[in-house]
Amino acid sequence: MDEVEIHSVGKLGESAFVRPMQVVFTQKGGKQRKWDYIRVHDSVAILIFNTSLNCIVMVRQFRPAVYMHECHKQHENRNDLKTQKTVVEISKDVSAQRGFLYELCAGIIDKSGKTTEEIASMEVLEETGYKVSPEEFKLISRFRSGVGTHGSVQSLYYVEVTNDMKVQDGGGLESEGEMIEEFHLPVTKIHDFLNDCTSLDRPSGVMFALTWFLANKSLNT
């Protein structure tokens, strides 16, 4: 799962997931500005607590955008005016581990006619294998992410599961090329996970969700 080989890097054409745009607007005082932004889907994320194991159920997966950010940064930091190495060539020296993140179970809202709770239920089953009815999901909060680039809305839910609710392996949809590993974070290790300032493999949404858990749930577990 950890082996990744980059074949090409280029400008985006048509996409079903992101649409680069530019807006021209006038602010107070009549000053005209331009801003580049991206149209993307809203999303759901789920904080899963397994009461049988006393752990948070998370996922570990490869994020191409994160990995390519590291490759581009390596390319810019080297004196490639002399070496003439491309980003693709640079990627051969960048470990695939740089693109793997520990995340909440999550997914985009792209299914018409489905509530966010129904989509959350589908994502939990696909990624972790737990079967949970939509009524079991508790909304923690809704907030905007990527406000400098897209400003989409994410709905964050909390749900509790037991080992008996595991009905399949999970791992995401193979038909969509998803490569997802289930990861268990013991409740006793949450503080260490949050306080590890040496790691960049945890998105901000994970940090917020785990902080919420410590403040609202851990004393009752």
pLDDT tens figures, 154-207: 999 999 999 999 999 877 656 565 678 999 999 999 999 999 999 899 999 999
Chain segment 62-75, per-residue pLDDT in tens: 999 999 999 998 88
Residue 185 domain flag: yes
Residue 57 domain flag: yes
The whole-number pLDDT of residue 196 equals: 94
Residue 38 domain flag: no
Residue 9 domain flag: no
Instruction: Domain count for the chain, please give it.
Output: 1
Residue 93 domain flag: yes
Residue 167 domain flag: yes
Tell me which long-range contacts 200-207 makes (C-beta under 8 A, separation of at least 24).
201/100, 201/101, 201/102, 202/101, 202/102, 202/103, 203/101, 203/103, 205/45, 205/103, 205/104, 205/106, 205/145, 205/154, 205/156, 206/58, 206/102, 206/103, 206/104
Residue 7 domain flag: no
Residue 19 domain flag: no
Residue 123: domain span? 43-220
The pLDDT confidence band at residue 16, using thresholds 50, 70 and 90, is confident
**CATH number reported for the structural domain that contains residue 158 in this entry:** 3.90.79.10
The whole-number pLDDT of residue 4 equals: 86
